[in-house]
Amino acid sequence: MTNSGKTKARGLDRAFDILDHLCQAGAPQRPIEIAEAIRAPKSSIYDLVALLVASSVLEKIDGDGRVFLGPKLNFWSINYQKHFDLGSTVRPILQRITERTKETSQLCTLDGNKYYVAMMNEGSRPFRISAEIGERVPIPWTASGRLLLSHMSDQEILDFIPQEDFELPDGSRLDPADFLMSVRQAQDEKFFDFDSIADTFTHCFAAPVFGHDTVCRHTLCIIAPKEDAATHYDDYKNALKDGADLLAAKLLSGK
Amino acid sequence: MTNSGKTKARGLDRAFDILDHLCQAGAPQRPIEIAEAIRAPKSSIYDLVALLVASSVLEKIDGDGRVFLGPKLNFWSINYQKHFDLGSTVRPILQRITERTKETSQLCTLDGNKYYVAMMNEGSRPFRISAEIGERVPIPWTASGRLLLSHMSDQEILDFIPQEDFELPDGSRLDPADFLMSVRQAQDEKFFDFDSIADTFTHCFAAPVFGHDTVCRHTLCIIAPKEDAATHYDDYKNALKDGADLLAAKLLSGK
DNA sequence: AAATGGATTCCGGTATACCGGAATATTGAC
DNA sequence: GTCAATATTCCGGTATACCGGAATCCATTT
């Protein structure tokens, strides 16, 4: 993963691999399970897990040696958020969008070369759509992904996305050239929407939140049943764009 | 800091020191500032900062080489919170407390041997009391601190708290023996309140949130002007205790 | 009990991460 | 422009972190 050749891997990288793996696993694991999943030497992982537990970056969950993400991560993240004030800035904006549209709204962003939902405000619908919070999803599967990559060149995008991520959940393959076109379309219109590819009955909308360098750092998005998406298309689009513009302004003004 | 002797420090520890230092600094810094603050070799810090930036654990903030906590921390923390569901569980409880008391309410916990405010719900008062979110504060300065240590023995507590943390902000020194007594009192009553030591006109209340092992993992607390604290003493106390019990129940039931 | 299978700890060699110090780049003052 | 002061990069030696493999521990089964 981090280490493909014949050489030793750095402890830092291994440690971060452990954290990322536990995010993906979504549940406490034993050192040996982690080692196998990461494809890392067992003895190294035992060492590292002990170190990470000692510094509360990981936490012992049960008496059987299972560990999970620890409170130290929360501490660092709170300080991160204090600076960018994401939490308290975004929440009311999502609530406003859900109020206007009745749909579940989300703040999305990238982690490495994957997309994930960073914050979610559930709508009133009885059924629940969309990915779990914090779950990493291939970028081409998402409307937001088009926007989040739009500052990159075609070549950069192709280098950035793992080949296998063009395989859609239904087993078909998305043509990278088509994907690039949709990225450019999203870039031009500063908006993107399409029928979901995770299911057959919903439609995704996404609006970009630009940082100071005109790079799309986040998106606001909603996922709605197709019929509602069609009848309220302009309402939904405007609700998202308004929210995204407001959010960008607040983030840029430093408050 | 991490390394006092003559030996090399581990990269992991240095990296975590960097993160903790940036939390404390509260603002982006250059590698060299970090190195001096941490008392670490410059060349090592340059190396590490580059590594951490590459993995988005740190983030380049400006063109002058300044870095700050990065989005990767947020990603990990979101997954941490998904598991323990702190965010969405605690928020409404704090809101309820603030509703009942009109005061600012907080969720507090430990990071290492320091206290910090993990979540805050501001009351309606025109002036603002209490520490910043995420700011590390000596445990003896806080009402919550008494509860958060109450599972430890006297000796463990004395070993745990740095000597200098008994120096109060007004320059006077708290007798460790007195502190231990107040810890035991808090333990017996499952509650603690006292006149603030950070100022002369407020009173702090704290109620413990117990984990599955009857260890006090968090506290709920409020800080109120002395007169209000006196006239509404029972109201405030009950609001906090109700909230804390409710929170403990929710956390233990896994939802 | 004995045996089996797996998890965890222990241990020693070696690749390399860490660090001191020198070289170079950058900034700002004059 | 020159110079001084500071920040950053470069480089090589050595302490040690990483890792393979063996030993030990711990449940379960026979």
* B211 and chain A in contact, CB less than 8 A: no
* Closest nt to residue B30, judged CA to C1': D7
Looking at the structure, do residues A125 and A227 belong to the same domain, yes or no?
yes
Read off the CATH number of the domain in which B177 is found.
3.30.450.40
Q: Protein footprint on strand D: which nucleotides are under 7 Å from a CB?
A: 6-11, 15-22
Q: What is the CATH number of the domain that holds B56?
A: 1.10.10.10
How far lies A110's CA from each of A16, A19, A115, B170, B197, in Å? 17, 16, 5, 46, 44
Q: Considering the domain boundaries, does residue B79 fall inside one? A: no
Q: In terms of domains, do B63 and B163 share one?
A: no
Residues B29 and B99 in one domain: no
**A15-24, A38-47, A157-166, B6-15: segment of lowest average pLDDT:** B6-15
Res B142 pLDDT > 60: yes
Per the structure, the count of domains in chain A is 2
E strand or H helix that includes residue B120: strand B114-121
The answer to whether residues B70 and B93 belong to one domain is: no
Q: Which helix (DSSP H) or strand (DSSP E) does residue B235 occupy?
A: helix B233-252
Q: CA nearest A109: which of A78, A83, A82, A136?
A: A136
Whether A44 is in a domain gets the answer yes
Q: Residue A23's closest chain B neighbor by CA? A: B79
At which of B24, B56, B74 does a domain end? B74
The predicted structure's pLDDT at residue A129: 59
Environment class of A239 (CB within 10 Å of its CB; exposed 0-12, middle 13-18, buried 19+): buried
Residue B141, helix vs strand vs coil: helix
Query: Which amino acid is residue B99, in one-letter code?
Result: E
CA–C1' gap, A40 and C12, in angstroms: 20
Does residue A152 carry a pLDDT above 90?
yes
Which nucleotide comes closest to A42 if you measure CA to C1'?
D19
**pLDDT, position B15:** 97
Chain C bases under 7 Å from protein CB? 6-11, 15-22, 27
Question: Based on the domain organization, do B113 and B225 belong to the same domain?
Answer: yes
In the listed set A41, A74, A107, which residue is the last one of a domain according to the structure? A74
User: What are the Cα distances from residue A40, in Å, to A45, A68, B45, B245?
Assistant: 7, 18, 26, 43
A201 or B136: which leads in pLDDT: B136
Q: How far is the CA of B48 from the C1' of C12 (A)?
A: 28
Which of A47, A74, A101 finishes a domain?
Answer: A74
pLDDT value at A76 more than 90 = yes
Same domain, A136 and A214: yes
Residue entry with tokens 């009109």: B102
| Pair B71, B59: CB distance under 8 Å | yes
Do residues B188 and B100 share a domain?
Answer: yes
Choose between B25 and B128: higher pLDDT. B25
Q: In this structure, is residue B186 part of a structural domain?
A: yes
Of B192, B101, B215, B93, the residue nearest B140 (C-alpha): B192
Residue with tokens 């004030």: A85
Q: Which nucleotide is nearest to A6 (CA to C1')?
A: C15
Lowest model confidence (mean pLDDT) among A5-14, A212-221, B149-158: A5-14
A235 touches chain B (CB under 8 A): no
Is the domain of B53 the same as that of B157?
no
Q: Would you call B175 exposed, middle or buried from its count of C-beta atoms within 10 A (0-12, 13-18, 19+)? A: exposed
Q: pLDDT tens digits, residue range A28-74?
A: 999 999 999 999 999 999 999 999 999 999 999 988 999 999 999 99
Tell me if A79 is assigned to some domain.
Answer: no
Q: How many CA atoms lie within 13 A of B143 on its CB side?
A: 26
The encoded tokens of residue B204 equal 């702090």
Query: How far does the CA of B43 sit from the C1' of C21, in Å?
Result: 10
pLDDT at B212: 76
Rg of chain B in Å (alpha carbons) = 20
A36 plus A144 within the same structural domain: no
Average pLDDT over residues A216-231: 92
What torsion, rounded to 10 degrees, do the Cα atoms A36, A38, A44, A50 define?
-90
Asked if the model's pLDDT at residue A195 lies above 60, the reply is: yes
CA distance A158 to A147: 15
Chain A: give the shortest CA distance to residue B188, in Å: 27
Is residue B219 very low, low, confident or very high in pLDDT (cuts 50, 70, 90)? very high
Whether B118 and A15 lie within 8 Å, measured CB to CB: no
Residue A68 contacts B where some CB pair is shorter than 8 Å: yes
Beta bridge partners of B192: B206
**Residue A77 and residue B76: Cβ atoms within 8 Å?**
yes
Question: Length of chain A in residues, anyone?
Answer: 255
The per-residue pLDDT for B127 is 54
Same domain, B66 and B112: no
Residue A178 belongs to domain spanning? 84-253
Q: Is residue B5 predicted with pLDDT exceeding 50?
A: no
> Nearest CA to CA, how far is B79 from chain A (Å)?
6
Q: What is the pLDDT of residue B1?
A: 40
B25-39, B101-115, B119-133: which range is least confident on average?
B119-133
User: Which residue has its C-alpha nearest to nucleotide C8's C1'?
Assistant: A46
Cβ of residue A11 closer than 8 Å to a chain B Cβ: yes
* Residues of chain A neighbouring B22 (CB-CB closer than 8 A): 79
> What CA–CA distance (Å, rounded) separates A208 from A216?
6
From CA A223, how far away is CA A165, in angstroms rounded?
21
pLDDT tens digits, residue range B89-122? 898 999 999 999 988 899 999 999 999 999 998 8
Question: Cβ contacts (< 8 Å) between A29 and chain B: which residues?
Answer: none
**B23 CA to chain A: closest CA distance, Å?**
6
What's the CA–C1' distance between B32 and D5, in Å? Answer: 15
Same domain assignment for residues A31 and A96? no
* B170 in Cβ contact with B138 (< 8 Å): no
* Spatial contact of B244 and B209, defined as CB atoms under 8 Å apart: yes
Q: Is residue A184 assigned to a domain?
A: yes
For residue B195, being part of any structural domain is answered with yes
Q: Does B61 share its domain with B134?
A: no
| pLDDT-derived band at A253, boundaries 50, 70, 90 | confident
Q: How far is the CA of A62 from the C1' of D21 (A)?
A: 29
Q: Does the pLDDT value for residue A117 go beyond 50?
A: yes
In a domain, B42, yes or no: yes
Q: What is the pLDDT of residue A3?
A: 41
Facing B109 at nearest CB: one of A52, A70, A71: A71
Q: Give all strands of the β-sheet with A216-225 in edge-to-edge order.
A: A137-138, A114-121, A105-111, A216-225, A202-210, A192-195
In a domain, B133, yes or no: yes
Chain B within 8 Å of A70 (Cβ-Cβ)?
yes
Q: Which pLDDT band, with edges at 50, 70 and 90, does A130 fall under?
A: low
